[in-house]
Amino acid sequence: MVNKLAMVLFAVLIVAMLTLPSYASLVPMSWGFPTLVQNNSLTNLENDFATQNDFEFSNISFPTSTTISAFPTITQISNQSSLMSKFAFQNQKQSSYFAYPWVSIGFSPVPSMGFL
């Protein structure tokens, strides 16, 4: 009889534990100064090199009927060279900072950056 009574009391204890609600006193809280930082950088490097050569040769002679020419022979030689070199370097940096005070007591401990 004592054994049956112990089993009934144990069963009542288990059912009572399953039916009672459980409570937690957790309060989410966050505070601080969230900061949004954006850094940009741009680097440009250019190197151009060009060379040009122009060689011209012209020979003009006037034919005559005799062996001795009365007209001169004209010869013209032209030689031109060009060299070009260009070097360009550009470096640009940009930074943006946004900070604000934040205090949250309630549902969300994560700051929403002030936009929600």
Helix (H/G/I), strand (E/B), else coil: 6: helix
Please write the tens of the pLDDT for every residue from 17-60: 888 776 666 555 666 777 888 999 999 999 999 999 999 999 88
- The structure's pTM equals 0.38
CA–CA gap between residue 113 and residue 116 (Å, rounded): 8
CB 36 within 8 A of CB 95: no
Amino acid symbol at 85: S
pLDDT at 114 over 60: no
Range name among 1-15, 25-39, 40-54, 70-84 with the lowest pLDDT average:
25-39
- Two tokens, residue 55: 């060689």
E-assigned strands of 1-116? 29-32, 35-60, 74-99, 102-105
